[in-house]
Structure 1
């Protein structure tokens, strides 16, 4: 019954090879040797037939798994079958002509490995049934070579060594190292390669060929007896047919007789003749293989048991096919939709089981958008960066119309702040888009292994959820946009924070206005010092005042002497009578008339007791304001000269003022510009804080939470239809093929395990 062990292993090998499984390391004998070392002759002598391709260079370019099956002569005669025949695993045909077997090996090699002498790792399986062989499994590999010859690939040595190493490195492999006896054993490539994977020599058996070709007076007795190179399985010497015998078609039976005669009559080998020859080699390999199979049975069973568990687990991942009946399809569709919705919600809430520790995912990315991306985008906006001095001055002038203004008009503030509020709209809308994109990523990442079985169902679920998110994108963006428009629709200058900031700005302006300009102080001091030397007579005082004004104009480099005369005329210390007489008019102008038309929150910035003095004495008020704030004249005009002839070219003046890089501002214009900038910055910051708070809330309510709460209902309404069940549950073809392959592997593993379990109870010899 031990003979059946090899057949069992051969059957397992065929089964695993057919289904593409190579995870089981089955015991087998692998023939390794250099080119022209006699490998092919050894195999043919064991079989007793010429069936291997021959020629120069590389002939064996694919592994040949040779299974020898002993068929008793009585069985062959009873079954009316030929005594000897061969079968290939890749073709359903029986070969009785061994020349046809050789041709089939050559053709199959060319089909897979090509015609350029390339190497292929895909094996050829050949069974030979004969009463002249014993049960044995041998693997013939390409011969080891050193340099490419002819049209061989340049890396042929590396390819062959890699192929041979893959086979002999397996622990259950028995290495048959073939070495020619007429070459020094120290140069044996087969023994060197075998030692690299089997340093102890426990699973290597040496075969010495060409013993009849050794030089006269030399022999290999020390090698065959193990004294030179010890191996646990020892060395066996053989004598094959010479090339002349092959060319003359010497029968294999005659060759075996000649081999036996050689060892029996040789003076050095006759004492060990019973342990030499091809017949002894075949029996030894058979016994070694049987013993090796028995030793490997426990490990093989354990390995098969592990592989069965892995195959069952992999098959379970594909799902149970029996659950896909018509009565279960609705339940299966609902199950996967519920699972998808649960994974979608868990990703947003951060309760998923497979949370990453390497990068942000799911709802954490949404929070990052709100706090970091959106917050930094708003903080990077400069409220007045795009407002030039010319823009602010033009807005102030346009908002006053044809009338001069004593105060900064509130209309100019609203005109300037509304476009600035619009700067918040692009970041807010982009925040909505980023959150929408993250939700789409979450949707696409919710792809469980079970759901991947049904690509159509998965695609439909993704499409339905994507449609839901797209539907919510529009209303969310519109609402966020309306938040910006609401802020622009009504400028609430009574906002508590803005009133507080305005008061602070007002105090700063008052402090600046209470301190006269240094130039004006110097002019007043100069006039006072000149007048102190003039007599008190009225006429003399007027004359002295004129002289003092002229002197001050010369000292301070001013050409507008007429303006200085007005300043002196309105000097409160030297014209107390005029000041007292004009006080009621000033009070009337400050509290009524023009003051009523600008009665806003900006009133206390200019005018009043703490503001600038306002006079209406023969036009002296406008002259005083012009002198105090340095009012700028139109280009091209001269003091005391009329420019009426140039009034037809008003556009020229406007153009000249607009092309200036830095317009020259009067003190009043500079004060108004700084004031407007401060107010715009204050109000913009208030709006920015409100938008930074409201936009994330709107996005969470209208987009995130709405999609999170309604995703499962939308899936059920859209996909839970009996007419769609068959289409949605259509499996992927590649997945179906993979399931069949895994199922075949599982069946093969089970069969092999059962067979090996029975072998355990067989008696050993």
Structure 2
């Protein structure tokens, strides 16, 4: 044991004089963040050792520590990442040095026997990765205290392998590469790329991966092992000088114990003596003392790590500060433990008030957390009113789903037994009510859209305290849902009344309604522009539109009570009865009273007019003459069950249809504008503004009850766990910030990266940049 301690002391003596208080503070940070385990996202400066399987990584680490403590054997030995933290401790007052190790997974237990440390590493590896060469990315953290080590943290990573063995999966190479890359890609990590000298440096897996993770070479140190077993006549001089593959931080050559030496229990002291003898005895390495030997590697690592810490320190402070602010915010959301009834009442009132204020602020667009990626709150409600509801109504054709045949049938049905001389009022009102009724569904849909949006808005109004009380959150959602439904019902009822009022009274006296002869004039002009003749005065006319217009104007000038002009009655009364000239009723001596020639074989010569023939004389003619038989009798075809007019439109019907469409469009537009204005007002009054005014009071009525306090303010167990976790994290981050304040280095002018100077020691210098010009 004494020999090992002496050997370790000699390996660290060269570098201990360069020890700096910076690295112990980093190690202290490692201890602090180790308490967080996998929850820690802070990247602390560390050194990762990368190399292919059996490249000599473990031997390099043991040489730096000065003790045998890593698993050895054939094949892959390092199967889990080993985070090795070395901490220099003073020897005891009696002069005896004391060394021990501690594992994070076994807190409080000290291992003074390094063989036991090796066994524990092997056992912990098997527990996680299995006993048959399996690999795991779960760390093993080991801390070694010794007066013979430099303060440094190293990570021994599994060696790169290509052929799976044992329980290793077929993609073992890809998995190990991914694991290694997750460490060395961090800007806070220095890379020790270990390559055996008896292999081709150009094909080094370690240098290849380091080149990917650190393309500028600011963080990579090359270590060349097994120089003593190179082919005779070859040497690694050009490798060490960086003439084959240049590295900014250069190379260090080492000679470690081989497997035979380990089996023969060759001490590290003897190995270091043999290494020194090897380099001094070969003339090719005589002048490369600063590039050769484990002591030089320790010295170089120490200095590079100190400078690397200076580089990453500002960013480290920033990240820890950001993490502290984030955790503090999360911790505040869990609040303090409330036990007394008074504090529970105050807390409940505070939550209800904050929620109601947040809801109103969201609607009014004053919420501090409003979205910048989409419309929300009141802006979304306004969009539904203007861009969905109003625009949809304006895009609807007033005569949609109303064909010309529908209009023609309505006019004929309204005329009853008589043929309509002008467009009657009844079909216009029937058709316009039918179109107005179509406005009800989109109006109700608009109210439902606003209701749904208010429900979603209420669920997005997250008050931080509500995360602590899911029962309260559930009750509040229920209250809001019921309250909004109670507002939706009168809004829908009011919308129904609005549409019904418009259907109940067709106000043709509205100043914006196109009625009277104006609609006929517009129809005539429209048909005239389409080249369609549309007579209306008489079927004997040729369909001259001008005659129709003159007839309309003539009718308009008459003051016959009850005369209907294009569907509008100036006065309420009976339809006009126009005197029929008596000559029109003159009966031909050989005809009937209606001017129809008699087909029954008898003549009434004495009857010269309707007035001269009695009713009995007109209708006493027998139905048929038995003497003549039925050969000349005219038989009518049976009328169909569904009777429709002819498919061809007369000129008069074309005018009537066009006029009706103009009247429908005019009145529909009047009603549509009223609906576009009234429906949003009804929704805002009964639903939106009512919620803003009364939501807080409803919460008080429904939830502010003594018998509910214990139930709705009950914290789930996970909230208590999260509060404890964030409390612990806060303590750790605050301690880390205090530790950072103890760093004695000035970092204002440090740039990331190093360069080799002309210093004979070969140690890197920090780039120092001038202050930028202003």
- Following superposition of structure 1 onto structure 2, how do residues 292-691 of structure 1 map, counting pairs within 5 Å? 292-293=305-306, 296=309, 300=313, 303-304=316-317, 307-308=320-321, 310-312=323-325, 314-319=327-332, 321-322=335-336, 324=338, 326=340, 327-354=342-369, 356=371, 358-387=373-402, 395=410, 410-449=425-464, 451-498=466-513, 501-505=515-519, 516-517=538-539, 600-601=569-570, 617-618=585-586, 652-655=638-641, 657-658=643-644, 662-664=646-648, 676-691=660-675
- Contact 1:337–1:712, Cα closer than 8 Å, also in 2: yes
For 1:212, what is the secondary structure of its paired residue? helix
| Unaligned ranges ≥5, structure 1 | 523-589, 626-640
- Contact 2:27–2:87, Cα closer than 8 Å, also in 1: no
- Taking the aligned partners of 1:57 and 1:202, their CA distance within structure 2 comes to 32
For 2:158, what is the secondary structure of its paired residue? coil
Q: 1:9 aligns with which of 26, 51, 55?
A: 26
Per mean C-alpha deviation after superposition, the further-off stretch among 295-304 and 458-467 is 295-304
- Contact 1:407–1:602, Cα closer than 8 Å, also in 2: no
Q: Kindly indicate whether residue 83 of structure 2 is the aligned counterpart of residue 65 of structure 1.
A: yes
- Taking the aligned partners of 1:270 and 1:508, their CA distance within structure 2 comes to 113
- Contact 2:134–2:167, Cα closer than 8 Å, also in 1: no
Question: Residue 745 of structure 1 aligns with which residue?
Answer: 729
RMSD: 5.1
- Taking the aligned partners of 1:715 and 1:643, their CA distance within structure 2 comes to 92
| Cα drift, residue 123 of structure 1 | 2.3
Per mean C-alpha deviation after superposition, the further-off stretch among 120-129 and 187-196 is 187-196
Per mean C-alpha deviation after superposition, the further-off stretch among 257-266 and 53-62 is 257-266
Distance 1:594 1:178, change over 3 A: closer
Per mean C-alpha deviation after superposition, the further-off stretch among 748-757 and 108-117 is 108-117
- Taking the aligned partners of 1:431 and 1:96, their CA distance within structure 2 comes to 78
Q: 2:48 aligns with which of 24, 27, 30?
A: 30
For 1:328, what is the secondary structure of its paired residue? helix
Q: 1:243 aligns with which of 259, 269, 278?
A: 259
| Cα drift, residue 710 of structure 1 | 1.6
- Contact 1:181–1:208, Cα closer than 8 Å, also in 2: yes
For 1:714, what is the secondary structure of its paired residue? helix
For 2:228, what is the secondary structure of its paired residue? helix
Q: Which has the higher helix share?
A: 1
Q: Kindly indicate whether residue 162 of structure 2 is the aligned counterpart of residue 176 of structure 1.
A: no
| Cα drift, residue 61 of structure 1 | 3.2
- Taking the aligned partners of 1:238 and 1:406, their CA distance within structure 2 comes to 118
Q: C-alpha deviations, 1:668-697, integer Å up to 9, x for none?
A: 666665555554444434333333332222
- Contact 1:301–1:757, Cα closer than 8 Å, also in 2: no
Question: Residue 555 of structure 2 aligns with which residue?
Answer: none
For 2:62, what is the secondary structure of its paired residue? helix
Q: 2:676 aligns with which of 686, 692, 700?
A: 692
Distance 1:15 1:513, change over 3 A: same
Distance 1:665 1:603, change over 3 A: farther
- Taking the aligned partners of 1:407 and 1:219, their CA distance within structure 2 comes to 118
- Contact 1:88–1:125, Cα closer than 8 Å, also in 2: yes
- Contact 1:657–1:663, Cα closer than 8 Å, also in 2: no
Larger Cα-atom Rg: 1
Q: Kindly indicate whether residue 691 of structure 2 is the aligned counterpart of residue 707 of structure 1.
A: yes
For 2:641, what is the secondary structure of its paired residue? helix
Distance 1:89 1:237, change over 3 A: same
| Cα drift, residue 16 of structure 1 | 0.6
- Contact 1:311–1:743, Cα closer than 8 Å, also in 2: no
| Cα drift, residue 478 of structure 1 | 1.2
- Contact 1:224–1:235, Cα closer than 8 Å, also in 2: yes
Question: Residue 633 of structure 1 aligns with which residue?
Answer: none
- Taking the aligned partners of 2:593 and 2:328, their CA distance within structure 1 comes to 97
Distance 1:503 1:240, change over 3 A: same
- Taking the aligned partners of 1:643 and 1:415, their CA distance within structure 2 comes to 46
Per mean C-alpha deviation after superposition, the further-off stretch among 424-433 and 216-225 is 216-225
Q: C-alpha deviations, 1:50-87, integer Å up to 9, x for none?
A: 43233444432332112345667757999xxx966543
- Contact 1:297–1:756, Cα closer than 8 Å, also in 2: no
TM-score normalised per structure 1 = 0.70
For 2:700, what is the secondary structure of its paired residue? helix
Distance 1:594 1:274, change over 3 A: closer
For 2:356, what is the secondary structure of its paired residue? helix
| Cα drift, residue 602 of structure 1 | 8.8
| Cα drift, residue 484 of structure 1 | 1.8
| Cα drift, residue 425 of structure 1 | 1.6
- Contact 2:29–2:736, Cα closer than 8 Å, also in 1: yes
- Contact 2:523–2:658, Cα closer than 8 Å, also in 1: no
Question: Residue 634 of structure 1 aligns with which residue?
Answer: none
Q: Kindly indicate whether residue 302 of structure 2 is the aligned counterpart of residue 289 of structure 1.
A: yes
- Taking the aligned partners of 1:203 and 1:594, their CA distance within structure 2 comes to 102
For 2:255, what is the secondary structure of its paired residue? coil
- Taking the aligned partners of 1:243 and 1:754, their CA distance within structure 2 comes to 46
Distance 1:151 1:731, change over 3 A: same
- Contact 2:561–2:573, Cα closer than 8 Å, also in 1: no
Q: C-alpha deviations, 1:383-405, integer Å up to 9, x for none?
A: 44445566556655655666887
Distance 1:619 1:250, change over 3 A: farther
Per mean C-alpha deviation after superposition, the further-off stretch among 746-755 and 726-735 is 726-735
For 2:257, what is the secondary structure of its paired residue? coil
- Taking the aligned partners of 2:282 and 2:663, their CA distance within structure 1 comes to 120
| Cα drift, residue 119 of structure 1 | 5.5
Distance 1:287 1:384, change over 3 A: closer
- Contact 2:53–2:159, Cα closer than 8 Å, also in 1: yes
Q: Kindly indicate whether residue 53 of structure 2 is the aligned counterpart of residue 18 of structure 1.
A: no
Distance 1:96 1:653, change over 3 A: same
Q: Kindly indicate whether residue 686 of structure 2 is the aligned counterpart of residue 718 of structure 1.
A: no
Question: Residue 635 of structure 1 aligns with which residue?
Answer: none
| Cα drift, residue 25 of structure 1 | 4.8
| Cα drift, residue 265 of structure 1 | 5.7
For 1:428, what is the secondary structure of its paired residue? helix
Distance 1:430 1:612, change over 3 A: farther
- Taking the aligned partners of 2:199 and 2:568, their CA distance within structure 1 comes to 120
- Contact 2:45–2:308, Cα closer than 8 Å, also in 1: no
Q: C-alpha deviations, 1:435-476, integer Å up to 9, x for none?
A: 222322332332255654544444433332222211111111
| Cα drift, residue 521 of structure 1 | 10
Q: C-alpha deviations, 1:417-438, integer Å up to 9, x for none?
A: 4333322221222222222223
- Contact 1:301–1:753, Cα closer than 8 Å, also in 2: no
- Taking the aligned partners of 1:486 and 1:438, their CA distance within structure 2 comes to 28
- Contact 1:29–1:138, Cα closer than 8 Å, also in 2: yes
Distance 1:490 1:58, change over 3 A: same
Question: Residue 211 of structure 1 aligns with which residue?
Answer: 227
Q: Kindly indicate whether residue 90 of structure 2 is the aligned counterpart of residue 90 of structure 1.
A: no
- Contact 2:133–2:165, Cα closer than 8 Å, also in 1: no
Per mean C-alpha deviation after superposition, the further-off stretch among 127-136 and 332-341 is 127-136
Distance 1:653 1:62, change over 3 A: same
Distance 1:47 1:477, change over 3 A: same
TM-score normalised per structure 2 = 0.70
